[in-house]
A and B are shown apart, each in its own frame.
Chain A
Amino acid sequence: MSVGETTQFTIDGALNAIAERRTTATALAEEFYARIKKDDAEIGAFLTLSEERARAQAERVDAMVAEGKPLPPLAGVPVAIKDVMVTRGLRTTAGSKILGNFIPPYDCTAVARLEAAGAVILGKLNCDEFAMGSSNENSAYRLVRNPRDKSRVPGGSSGGSAAAVAAGMAVATLGSDTGGSIRQPASFCGVVGLKPTYGRVSRYGLIAFASSLDHIGPFANTVKDAALVLRTIAGRDPMDSTSAEVPVPDYVAELEKPIHDSGKKLRIGVAKEYFGTGLDTEVRGAVEAAIQKLASLGCEIVPVSLPNTEYAIPAYYIVATAEASANLARFDGVRYGFRARGAKTLGEMYRQTRDGGFGMEVKRRIMLGTYALSAGYYDAYYLKAQKVRTLLTRDFDEAFKQVDVIAAPTAPTAAFKLGEKVDDPLAMYLADIYTVTANLAGIPGISVPCGETREGLPIGLQIFGRHFDEGTVLRVAAAFEQASVVGGR
């Protein structure tokens, strides 16, 4: 078999081709590398290729096939990893110059679990520096172009993860989401992106941006593939004390259940606060049509209120930057990473290293977070934002007493042009307006393609669920995806 021109490659497609010996894991990896080498010069999704590691893993899978052994659940599936997850012996930069030569001594748990399940890691994916950005333009290395329109951004911060799947350069990828960094690029590139519940996936080995908001999750072409990856990476990990002791269901079985599983009609909440000013007309139209499609599947559409939504962005940018300023204090040029040369004193060495190693947006966020935590401003900014976080979380708790999931747009617009918002940090932050609240509250959210603008740019439907109820989120997303394929968009 051949990857050919299709970019809609699924996990089942890869598994079956290998199991039925129509291809080998090695040949499949080579085909993906051939495509990456042909197409990625223009797209810019990959920062590092891990050909040796991929070949060794593919050979292990091929040996198992040859010996007729039972195959692990992702045997030979070509995947790639956002470069904020550490990989043993494989350069990991976080999109920053300060980690330009960093070779981690251990593997991120999510990466280790993918490999243990037989997945073949093709390489490390471009992203905004330290996952700070909404367009991938803050990468210290190179731009990522949206495969659907190369004059536009892929979204961010997991822009490389979304673009790699959209361009058929990986079957599935891992990204991280601190304020929307999985869901927003999934929406911009027309793929599926899932942010699980906080605590569902271990953060061990994820280079920290904002520890109480950071999540690892999958990108894929289909909802089922996102479920397959989540099933592999989810679950308690002793190396992350915030990873929850909550059983992991079989997500694939969950999404194959009928949509009205409990015998009652599934209730979908729609909050007017997610359809206010600033929402692009075409995005609104597509998301409203998607909600109508879910209604036509027998779901009950229930108006809900999330009254504090307009305060989510200001609360988020205080909490996130405060945590970032503390987390990024470790980059000092002593134990790893870049060090500025020629400094006379230790203090000078620290400052010059950080000045030269961090990009403008990272410095901006460190400054904002340090300011919000500094004496005299702590109560006014950081404590205030933490209290608003409580209110925003309560909004969701109240809404989920009435409904099973909430449907909303993923982003206020389709992908914007490269360079369009690069000089206006506040405008860039507002690209996250519909995604940040799920990070503050820790609830799961998925973005699934729900149509296109007249210019052919993808639009994403976002579905939120209760804590640890990824099963229902995936089931609704899969039902919508199925209805879209059958009934057209």
Chain B
Amino acid sequence: MKVTEKDVAYVAELATLDLSADERVRMLRDLNSILGYVDRLNELNTDNVEPMAQVSDRYGVDQSRQGSERFAYAAREDVKEGLRASLPHEEALKNAPETDGTFFEVPKVIER
């Protein structure tokens, strides 16, 4: 067992989850099982290998361009207005569980 109960509690806090007692037991078992399998990645020597976050800077772009220049097609000139209408206020609030009609409402954050 690499992942401990303490780790599960800590990671749950980072992930903004409570998890029930039963879920914590399952999580401990499952994370250890999955990470045990993932450990086989250590069989590979990756000392001189660049990490890859995404594919779009390698394929379908002009390889002679460097860095963000490769994505120049996705950029546009700055425009002050008339680009695209923002979501109307009313529509932005429509799906919210609680509002006062102007703002999203949440439990009180600051005591005074």
Contact = CB atoms under 8 A, between A and B. Distances in A.
Contact of A339 (B58, B92, B98): B98
Interface in B34-89: 34-35, 37-44, 46, 49-56, 58-61, 71, 73-74, 76, 87
A311 B40 contact: yes
A311 B74 CA distance: 33
A311 to B, nearest CB: 6
Nearest to A350: B16
A352 interface: yes
Contacts of B52: 386-387, 389-390, 393
B14 A374 contact: yes
B23 to A, nearest CB: 7
A389 B54 CA distance: 9
Interface residues of B, number: 59
| Count class of interface residues, chain A | 35 or more
Given A101-B95, A105-B91, A355-B17, A363 B55 contact: no
B33 A425 contact: yes
Given A244-B56, A371-B31, A425-B33, A355 B41 contact: no
B95 A103 contact: yes
Given A367-B17, A383-B51, A199 B60 contact: yes
Contacts of B18: 351-352, 355
Nearest to A334: B104
A238 B77 CA distance: 13
A467 B94 contact: no
B19 interface: yes
Nearest to B51: A386
Contacts of B53: 212, 386
Given A103-B95, A348-B107, A354-B16, A245 B73 contact: yes
B30 interface: yes
A277 interface: no
Interface in B91-106: 91-92, 94-98, 104, 106
B95 A337 contact: yes
B34 A429 contact: yes
A468 interface: yes
B21 interface: no
Contacts of B8: 367
Given A308-B44, A314-B40, A334 B96 contact: yes
B16 A351 contact: yes
15 contacts: A105-B91, A105-B94, A198-B59, A199-B59, A238-B74, A242-B54, A343-B107, A344-B107, A348-B107, A366-B15, A374-B14, A384-B46, A390-B51, A426-B34, A442-B56
Given A336-B95, A366-B15, 13 more contacts: A103-B94, A198-B54, A199-B55, A314-B38, A318-B41, A334-B97, A339-B97, A346-B106, A364-B26, A384-B41, A386-B51, A386-B52, A393-B58
